[in-house]
Amino acid sequence: METTSRYMKSKGTLRLLLLALLLLLLVILLLASARAGGGRAFDPKRDIVQYWAAGHLLLAGGNPYMPSPEELRSLPQASIWIQDTLVITWSLPWTLFFVIPLGFLDYVAASLLYALLTVVLVIACASVLWRLYGGPAKRQWLALLVAFSFFPTLGALAVGQISPLILTGLVGFLFFARRKEWWLAGACSVLVAIKPHLLYLFWLALLLWIVRQRRWPVLGGGLLAGAVATAIPVLINPSVLGYYLDNWASRPPGQWATPTLGTLLRMLSSKPLAVNDSLWPLFVPILLGLLWFIPHWWRHRDAWDWAEQTPLLLLVSFVTAPFGWVLDQVVLLPAAIQAAVWVLHEARPRVRTAALIGYLAINVPPWLMAMRRTDQFWYIWIAPALLLGYLLLRRETGQGETTSPHLMPGRLR
């Protein structure tokens, strides 16, 4: 009894320490969000500014995609707005549904609320993924450690990126698919569709799986949620669809040197990048992704398990995506947590040590690069390194091409 009591006390102490660390992280993020850089209430380098401005402009009947200087001056606290900064978002129209609440708040309140929301969502997603992949409940703190030491996670939280919402949709889909609640699984896909190009292999697999398994409720849930999320912004501002098309026609996102193989090919064919350059090199790597996906799908089509297959789909999608930012890679957290469970069940110290060294080698250099304000393009190595590390660890831990023995069986409650 005494031994059990000491164990419970130590376990409780560990949980309190972990909670304290998470609260400290939350406070740091909230302070960073509320900070007025250089005496300004707006920091145009933080992504939350775009979402906040888009929410305000949508409600005011303005252009949430490419606002004019006059529209920017109409925003709250416009006297301290950086007048020569043009807020641009390429988010699909249904994404505006999720930024509408920010339009009712001033910038500081919106930034604080969004920081709190995304931290909570990441905690929830990490916990669900840990259980989904069969991690022991008493070691669930490891899921949070992985989540908040993953460079894209903290980076996305710090700048107010929307990618944690994509992660939430993805984890929600896996959660409800495991419980066979197909309508809810489909509804969660509207969050995944915030940046559909990042996970194009996931969408292709989903379409093929729906048709093969006749999971029409998944399709129905996704279409219904997408229709509602699109209709509400359009009802608020009927010009939204026109603004979106005009923005894509005049300022395609491919002009930016994002850390992708497509950008590398485009830079090799045209230097420097310009708005009117040909965009076809961006899509060449997709062919490589499809060449991998077709035989992979064919081998696993009869015993497709979404929890098992999704991490690899995400990794290959990111490596071959036409464009995307390094902080979008928070969506790769399912692969990181699945790998952590593999390592936890691995008995060989050699493999555990190699996995830890590899994880640090991938996550520490980006922080050094960020401190030196390195251009986004030079983060191009991260997604391929994650894919390579995942494949090597899968082979070393004996996961191979079969369903993982560490997946939680049955319904995830």
Provide the residue-wise pLDDT of the chain in tens; the chain has 413 residues: 444 455 444 555 556 556 556 655 655 555 554 444 333 444 555 788 888 888 988 998 888 887 777 777 777 765 445 444 555 667 889 999 999 999 898 888 888 889 889 999 999 999 999 999 999 988 888 999 999 999 999 889 888 899 999 999 999 999 999 999 999 999 999 999 999 999 999 999 999 999 999 999 999 999 999 999 999 999 999 999 888 888 777 776 656 788 888 888 888 876 555 555 667 788 889 999 999 999 999 999 999 999 999 999 999 999 999 888 899 999 999 999 999 999 999 888 899 999 999 999 999 999 888 888 788 889 999 999 999 999 999 999 887 544 444 454 433 54
Is the distance from CB of 75 to CB of 81 less than 8 angstroms? yes
- Does residue 403 fall inside a structural domain? no
pTM: 0.87
Domain that holds residue 283: 40-396
- Does residue 9 fall inside a structural domain? no
- Does residue 410 fall inside a structural domain? no
Q: What end-to-end distance do the CA atoms of the chain give, in Å?
A: 31
Is the distance from CB of 189 to CB of 94 less than 8 angstroms? no
Query: Which tokens is 135 given?
Result: 């991690």
Number of domains within the chain: 1
- Does residue 413 fall inside a structural domain? no
pLDDT score at 13: 57
- Does residue 265 fall inside a structural domain? yes
- Does residue 31 fall inside a structural domain? no
Contacts 24+ apart (CB under 8 A), 16-20: 18/141, 18/144
**300/303 Cα distance (integer angstroms):** 6
Tokens 């005494």 identify what position?
Answer: 2
**310/317 Cα distance (integer angstroms):** 10
Is the distance from CB of 190 to CB of 351 less than 8 angstroms? no
Please state, as a whole number, how many other Cβ atoms lie within 10 Å of the Cβ of residue 138: 10
Tokens 């699945």 identify what position?
Answer: 338
Please state, as a whole number, how many other Cβ atoms lie within 10 Å of the Cβ of residue 413: 7
- Does residue 100 fall inside a structural domain? yes
- Does residue 57 fall inside a structural domain? yes
Of 38, 68, 39, give the one whose Cα is nearest residue 53: 68
pLDDT score at 264: 86
